[in-house]
Structure formats: structure tokens, C-alpha cells
Amino acid sequence: MRNLKVILIGVGLILVAFLGTASAGQFGAPEPLASSGNISLGVGYFYSADQLELSDKSKDYKFSQNQIYLQFSATLEKIEFYIRGGGADFKLENAFPGGDFNDNYKLFGTMGVRGMIDITPYLGIGAFVQGSLFSTYKSQGVEIKDLGEADVGLMLQGKINRICVYAGPFLYWTHAKTESSGSLNQSNNFGGVAGIRIPIYKGINFEIEGQYRQEFSAGAGISYSF
């Protein structure tokens, strides 16, 4: 019951922080990286892609980002809180008659909470909520600002010999503003995720994950738990 209360408080804080402005990143396995009362540090890369719809047009535009980040997380029992900071570029295909909206790496930040309840020693069910905010992007005199996303989902995790395999559905909300053309939003709010976490050495884990919204996204990260 205590775990559930902590998760709900974390979910509420993140939703308040990000839904008011609302791109995605890696969610990770629901099982915490470190043991209770300890921390972990990690580095990762994630390719994020989806489709966005301009408010004054019916056409969808594919957007993509390359995200490079550092992550800090802290564990309390079976609950993990984490923050990320890094750089991400932004590309919106066929945004102009002459080509794409394209801007270089800018700062972004992410915060999230995830947790898991064991069903058996080999099977568990988890939940997560995550939000990200990005810098303003500029291309050909046009600005895209207040880009943000919030994600919430459930996962089923299997574990054999410390290898974690996980998958599940999630809901997401993406939003951005442009100077003259209104807002950008996704036309779909449902996605799916699957991934695997592999222990490499004591305290070191490698994780790879794929996500599908209206486009495919994927990434990988490596972490060290103290």
C-alpha cells in the first residue's frame, strides 16, 4: 500500500508538470536499476519518431529526434525516480515547400517514476509515468516552442537469470506551438513498448528498447548502480 501511494504521488506531480505544456524517450524496465536506498547513473541514446498534425491543416507531418542524455535515478523499495538531461535535435519532414524543418541539438530534460509489483520470482507487473520538455527550435525563420510530452503506461516483465524482458501499452500526449501556424499535436494517443535489460557485469546493465506510436522509435542505454 505504501508503494502504491508513493507511485500515485509521483504520477500526480509529473502530470501536473508536463500536461499543462504538452518528446518521448526510453522508458526502461519497470524493475528499478538499483536496490532500495541506492542510486544509479547512466548514459543513453534514443531515436524518437512520430507524426504531428498542424492545427490549421489536416496533413500529418513526420517528426524525428536524436536524443543523447545522462540519467540519475534513486530507488525506494520497488519504486524508482529518475531525471535526465541532454541534447536533442528536431526534424519535421516536408514542413516547407522547399524542404524540411531542421534544427541542431538543443537542451532537453526528462523526469519520471516507475515501479513494479512481483507476481512470482519470474514475473511482475509495473507502471510508469514520464514527461519531457525541449528547447525552442528554429528553421527558415520559423520557431517551434513549448515542445513537450507526457507518457503513462503499464508493463509486464519476465525475469530469468537477472535478464529482464518487458512489454506493454502506453498513452502519450504531445504538444508544441509555432509562431504563426497554431499548434502541433499528435492525432493518435496510443502506443506500445518492448525491451530487454541485460546485466554485463556487477552493477552494470545494458538496455535496448523499441516503441511504436505512428512511427517506430528505438534506443539503448548503459547504467551503473551503486
pLDDT at residue 20 in the model: 37
Per-residue pLDDT, 177? 85
- Residue 78 neighbours by CB distance under 10 Å: 19
At residue 124 the predicted structure's pLDDT band, cuts being 50, 70 and 90, is: very high
SS (H, E, C) the chain: CHHHHHHHHHHHHHHHHHHCCCCCCCCCCCCCCCCCCCEEEEEEEEEEEEEEEECCCCCEEEEEEEEEEEEEEEEECCEEEEEEEEEEEEEEEEEECCEEEEEEEEEEEEEEEEEEEEEECCEEEEEEEEEEEECCEEECCEEEEEEEEEEEEEEEEEEECCEEEEEEEEEEEEEEEECCCCEEECCCCEEEEEEEEEEEECCEEEEEEEEECCCEEEEEEEEEEC
pLDDT in tens, 152-200: 999 999 999 889 999 999 999 988 888 776 788 887 889 999 999 999 9
Q: What pLDDT does residue 57 have?
A: 65
Quick one: pLDDT at residue 23?
56
pTM of the model: 0.85
CATH of the domain at 25: 2.40.160
Q: What is the mean pLDDT of residues 47-71?
A: 87
The predicted-structure confidence for 81-110, as pLDDT tens digits, reads as follows: 999 999 999 999 988 888 999 999 999 999
- The yes-or-no verdict on residue 12 having pLDDT over 90 is no
How many structural domains comprise the chain?
Answer: 1
Burial status of residue 132 (CB atoms within 10 A of its CB: 0-12, 13-18, 19 or more): buried
Q: Which of 91, 87, 82 is nearest to 108 (CA)?
A: 87
pLDDT tens-digit series, residues 28-43: 999 999 989 999 999 9
Place of cell 524542404: 99
Say what the alpha-carbon torsion angle 108, 155, 63, 68 is, to the nearest 10 degrees: 40
What share of the chain has pLDDT > 70, as a percent?
87
Question: What pLDDT shows up at residue 174?
Answer: 86
Give the model's pLDDT for residue 55: 73
pLDDT in tens, 16-26: 444 433 356 89
Burial class (CB in 10 A: 0-12, 13-18, 19+), 181: middle
The pLDDT tens digits of the residues spanning 193-226 come to 999 999 999 899 999 999 999 899 999 999 999 9
Whether 115 contacts 3, CB under 8 Å: yes
Q: What is the mean pLDDT of residues 105-122?
A: 94
> Which structural domain range is residue 120 located in?
2-225
